[in-house]
Structure 1
Amino acid sequence: MGYKNEDEIKRALGIESWRHLSKEKMIRFVAMMPDMSTEVALKIIEQFPAFKDFAKDVVGVMEKAYESTLSNNKQSQEHFHRACQEVREILRVELNKDNLSREDKKFIIEQIQETLRMEFQKDSENKQFLSGNLKRVLAGAGAALALGVVFVGGKVFAESKDDPEGSLEA
């Protein structure tokens, strides 16, 4: 983390206070966010109420979408695992029959192993899906927050045009 406090960030932006944060400097601020500690970024963002409201709404919507995806995925996973268990149970019943040849028994055991491989593969795919989905949600939330900062910057810029002295109360 390159920036450890607000004063360092204000110096880097060339401003004395957050009231002087123009649209251009707001965009620079967004670009600097990855180099800030989370606490410092939050402390600065909290000074812009519209940004906080926007960020809360976006994160709430994304959270609901993610939860819905997880719920649907869980149901699909459970259905697949139940089906595999049922197939193995059928195969076990067949395997217990007395009149099976060695080849028949071998085939049934291979089928049981195949269902286990399928479940292992499905579990691996599911973990990749969940990981990818989480990354997309986090990227989306980050992008939404960045857009929110730009939106607030645009509002600050527009309000500073109305203010003859070009400042905005934070």
Structure 2
Amino acid sequence: MHAEEIAGILNRPLSRELLARDLTRLAYTAVDGTPRCVPIAFTWNGSRIVLCTTTNAPKLPALRANPDVALTIDTEVHPPRILLLRGRAELDEVDGIPEEYLQMNGTYTMTAEQRTEWEAEVRSLYRGMVRIVITPTWAKLIDFETTLPSAIEELNRERAARNA
């Protein structure tokens, strides 16, 4: 997919709404060659997805060996709204807590006191983290009104041909 086509999809109002959510599903290939899919908090910085994880996370050796990933950001309503992304993970080990980690966890409802306690706990637990930065190389938005999964689009074309 060309960058302009990806940007066109990601700049749609529904895509922007989905990119403002706080949870994605990250799919990658584990070191043993089996698939993995994990829910993880994220933030969108306008051009890249940023995830943060512990320096000892099992996903890190896998992402170093094979940085190709897929992401799903979706809703829990009918019809579902789904943003599918693919890209390559870049790993950036940082000292302390990345600002993105604090931002992505700021969407949860917490009182000011709870937030202060949470941040203190996070800062006491993590000496460092790894930022996983993903630049989308492919994107598809499915809203079941104007866009459908490709298999359903194919069935619609076949039905139209049969009825023609």
Higher strand share: 2
- Provide TM-score, normalisation by structure 2: 0.27
Higher helix share: 1
